[in-house]
Amino acid sequence: MKNKPLFILAICLFCITGCSTTGTTTPPITPSPVQYSFTETEDMTAKLIFTYKDKAGVSLIDFEEKILPNPAENTYWEPIVLPAGRTLTLRVFVYWGEGETNRRRGIFNCPPLEKGKTYKLWYYMGEKHNEAKKLILTESDIERISYKIERKLFKGYVVTPLFEAVYIQEIPEFSNKELRNLWREYNN
């Protein structure tokens, strides 16, 4: 074969450099927010944004047993439109850190929201190990949930919020039975 050296050279170059398409990467697609409404009309509604900051977040499972559907590919639900002017029952997931074991379902008893306003719902884990976990409802202009913690002589710690909350709901600690069930789930 007369072109054998050229053929071997072409094969070697291909093996060394690889296919030209392997070097190109497509940039990751950033999901887009899409509004979802649990109401038929827009006249008596408020909007709620579920937040994720500093490896802690809260997401909606359902509103009064109406399940939030999965969003379309490359989208997420934000904000959620809810009825205004009455107490709402929201089933939520709170999550923190990494992994499946760092999740917990709960009920957020949302106070009546004001018509036309937008709010944010936050999950706050606490700065100290023994501090209560909380679901915190704020107006939408709040960008971060933080506290000033001071040690006072003879009084222990004094914790002062550095934000204005609309409503705060503490999350009770797990009971021993709940912890045993979680441990069984994790080890199975």
130 lies in some domain: yes
6 lies in some domain: no
Burial class (CB within 10 angstroms; exposed 0-12, middle 13-18, buried 19+) of 142:
middle
3 state SS of 108: strand
pLDDT, tens digit, 9 for 90 and up, residues 52-84: 887 889 999 999 999 999 999 999 999 999 999
The upper half-sphere exposure of residue 10, i.e. CA atoms within 13 Å in the direction of its Cβ, equals: 5
43 lies in some domain: yes
22 lies in some domain: no
3 state SS of 129: coil
7 lies in some domain: no
Amino acid 154: pLDDT:
74
The mean pLDDT value for 9-36 works out to: 71
What backbone phi and psi angles, to 5 degrees, belong to 118?
-115, 135
Domains contained in the chain, number: 1
